[in-house]
């Protein structure tokens, strides 16, 4: 990669030890840009919440997904939801309040959250601008009951003095 412009380039490099499955081909590595992927509206949100999916959710060769989730001012995850996998959120833009377990925590650009499996979560993006985060999650594999096999995403390190209510850092 080479930056030929006068503005500072930035990128998020996410590394993880691949979890292979017998009989399933290893996917090819790729580099992409948010401008190359169209955002899909989340059902029932009238466009207030969208998701850009960089990997086809039906492609089981991948053991992780990275998406960008965006909220327009007033956009919400209207009820506490849970997921079967751990996942990380790195705030790219804006600010919001995010439910983590039983606590509403204000998060803003540069903050990182690591959510354990089944952690109740919800979100309210009160504005004044758009709220966006990079979402990393393990998919298509059973949880490994042994020691963790993943390498922590380097771009998702918490900022000094900032964080989301003491959420644990990735292993």
CB 43 within 8 A of CB 77: no
Whether 91 is covered by a domain: the verdict is yes
Determine the pLDDT at residue 17: 86
The answer to whether residue 78 sits within a structural domain is: yes
Domain count of the fold of the chain: 1
DSSP 115-165: E-TT--EEEEE--SS-EEEEEEEE-SS---SSS--PPPPGGGPPPTT--ST
Domain that holds residue 133: 47-140
Per-residue pLDDT, 71: 97
- Give which of 61, 62, 42, 44 is closest to 52, Cα–Cα: 42
Task: Give the chain's length.
Answer: 171
Respond yes or no on whether the N-terminal peptide bond of residue 128 is cis (omega within 30° of 0).
Answer: yes
> If you compute the radius of gyration of the chain from its CA atoms, what whole number of angstroms results?
16
Query: What local confidence, expressed as pLDDT, does residue 147 receive?
Result: 61
Tell whether 67 is covered by a domain: yes
**DSSP strand pairing (64-71 vs 103-108):** unpaired
With respect to residue 41, please indicate whether it lies within any of the assigned structural domains: no
CA distance 97 to 64: 26
pLDDT score for 157: 44
Q: Is residue 93 part of a domain?
A: yes
We report the CATH number of the domain holding residue 65 as 2.60.120.10
Q: What is the pLDDT along the chain (171 residues), one digit of tens a residue?
A: 788 999 988 877 888 888 999 999 999 988 888 999 999 999 888 889 999 999 998 999 999 999 999 999 999 999 999 988 888 999 999 999 999 999 999 999 999 999 988 999 999 999 899 999 999 998 998 776 666 554 444 444 444 443 444 444 444
């Amino acid at each position: 990669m080479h930056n030929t412009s006068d503005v500072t380039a930035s990128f998020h490099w996410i590394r993880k030890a691949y979890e292979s499955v017998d009989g399933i081909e290893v996917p090819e590595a790729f580099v992409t840009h948010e401008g190359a992927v169209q955002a899909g509206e989340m059902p029932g949100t009238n466009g207030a919440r969208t998701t850009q999916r960089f990997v086809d959710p039906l492609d089981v060769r991948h053991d992780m997904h990275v998406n960008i989730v965006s909220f327009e001012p007033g956009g919400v995850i209207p009820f506490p939801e849970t997921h079967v996998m751990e996942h990380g959120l790195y705030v790219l833009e804006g600010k919001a309040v995010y439910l983590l377990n039983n606590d509403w925590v204000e998060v803003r650009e540069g903050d990182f959250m690591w959510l354990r499996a089944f952690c109740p979560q919800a979100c309210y993006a009160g504005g004044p601008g758009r709220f966006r985060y990079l979402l990393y999650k393990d998919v298509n594999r059973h949880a490994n009951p042994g020691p963790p096999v993943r390498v922590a995403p380097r771009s998702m390190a918490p900022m000094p003095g900032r964080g989301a209510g003491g959420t644990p850092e990735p292993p």
